[in-house]
A and B are shown apart, each in its own frame.
Chain A
Amino acid sequence: QMAQSPSSLSASVGDRVTITCRASEGIGSFLAWYQQKAGKAPKLLIYAASILQSGVPSRFSGSSSGTEFTLAISNLQPEDVGTYYCQKYNSAPYTFGPGTKLEIK
């Protein structure tokens, strides 16, 4: 099980926002973050809890503490609108979190 919070948030351009994901058991660093825009396939942002995927802006970052994982987006931009999912991939089932819908005020 992957618990993710908040389920939605609204922030202004230039803000810093954080999304948290908590695993129900130890998963090491086998945690990824994805961004999904409306009508599109998900896009990988971060893997191994904190490694930025090539081509992803550096305003995205990931961190972890035990079974709690955080995605931070600094200097929020209009194109960051979408839904964000965490996922564990240490072993099957490769469960996704329920998602966080991010809107711009």
Chain B
Amino acid sequence: QLVESGGGLVQPGGSLRVSCVASGFTLSNHEMNWVRQAPGRGLEWISHISSSGASTYYADSVRGRFTISRDIAKNSVFLQMNSLRVEDTAIYYCVRADDGYLHFDLWGQGALVTVSS
């Protein structure tokens, strides 16, 4: 399973780090992603890290502000969010990609991030 933590209320321009702890599988065998959902809106993929950790990808909406990383020893994935904007308010889901077909097969319960003054 995947369990996110670290959500909360932050002011515009501030920073926050969301964490995701994986259990029951090894991160080094899977690509991992972050997907967010603003209130009342659809799903938006925002970041990806390869199984080796060597490659990362970002949506245009967060590139240059957000950074995905992982700690294999802690079996954890992180999303560091800087220069936060009101429009970054959303539930942030940690999502595993299948190690064969690469579809998103396991989702966390989500962490709510609210950006407001």
Nearest-neighbour CB distance to chain B for A29, whole angstroms, equals 9
Which residues of chain B are near A60, meaning CB under 8 Å? none
User: Which single member of B104, B109, B110 contacts A89 (CB below 8 Å)?
Assistant: B104
Q: Is the interface of A mostly helix, strand, loop or mixed?
A: loop
**How many A-B residue pairs lie within 8 Å, measured between CB atoms?**
59
User: Which single member of A34, A51, A53, A89 contacts B97 (CB below 8 Å)?
Assistant: A89
Interface residue? A81 (CB, 8 A): no
Within 8 A of B (CB), among A20-55: 30, 32, 34, 36, 41-44, 47-48, 51, 53
Interface size, chain B (Cβ < 8 Å): 22
Which residues of chain A are near B45, meaning CB under 8 Å? 87, 92-96
Nearest-neighbour CB distance to chain A for B90, whole angstroms, equals 13
The chain A residues found within 8 Å of chain B, CB to CB, are: 30, 32, 34, 36, 41-44, 47-48, 51, 53, 83, 85, 87, 89, 92-99
